[in-house]
Amino acid sequence: MKAALLICDHIPEELSKIHGTYFEMYADLFPAIALEAYFVIDNEFPELEEYDIFISTGSRYSVYDDIPWIEKLKKMVKEIYDLRKIFIGICFGHQLIAESLGGKVERHQSGYLIGVHDFKFNHKLSWMKPGADGYKILMLCQDQITALPKGSLVLSKSAECAIGMYTVGSTFLGIQGHPDFSKEYNKAIFESRADRIDSDKIEKANKSLGEEPSLILLRSYMHNFILGQTNNR
């Protein structure tokens, strides 16, 4: 099975030297999958027929921004869905699914969500093994999904984020959070935006970094989701 990694941003060079590139982050997140990178942010798009799996990264941009590569990407995501290929969206990618398939994303009244957050599962599907009541995940967003596409099922939520993880049909999975980030990288990014984020939020986020994100659990879920779909083909 071939997988295309859709890279929707550039990590500043001074940070990539310390924390790695997007490709390196996702290669660590999906160790059993050979990823081929496409910088869609630079208008580099894959041929859909060549891939079975598509994975979208986060981005500093908003999915509702009127930017040509984002509009082209939305159309491609709709094509991927119609072809019933597998798609996993992380943060911006999670929101991209909604906007591409008839939902809506907006700047949320909560503003920035940063640091480690707790989510509780409200639905459990067969690929969600091992079993768990919830998970911890690094957050770095200020947009959220406010309307879901048809065929969606919300799997988790938190007090500040009503749609933490969801599926659309059986082949699309979105996660509003960053299993790809290290705590150090998350901290570097939100502290670089201190002029836009309330100081109390930054203080709370820094304290939350004493908790460990549920990386092993989330990696297992994403792997099982992909494996379950490929076995059904």
Tell me: the pLDDT tens digits for 195-211? 999 999 999 999 999 99
Tell me the pTM.
0.96
Query: What are the tens digits of pLDDT across the range 40-91?
Result: 999 999 999 999 999 999 999 999 999 999 999 999 999 999 999 999 999 9
**Beta carbons of 174 and 98 less than 8 angstroms apart:** yes
pLDDT on residue 231 = 61
Separation of alpha carbons 228 and 65, rounded Å? 34
pLDDT on residue 24 = 96
Kindly list the domain boundaries of the chain, sorted by start residue: 3-231
Quickly count: other Cβ atoms within 10 Å of residue 208's Cβ: 19
pLDDT on residue 233 = 55
pLDDT on residue 155 = 98
**Beta carbons of 79 and 46 less than 8 angstroms apart:** no
Q: What is the DSSP letter of 27?
A: H
CATH of region 3-231, choose from 3.40.50.880, 3.40.50.720, 3.40.50.1110, 3.30.420.40: 3.40.50.880
The angle subtended at Cα 206 by Cα 190 and Cα 62, nearest 5°, is 25
Give the residues across from 139 on adjacent strands: 115
Whether residue 105 has pLDDT greater than 60? yes
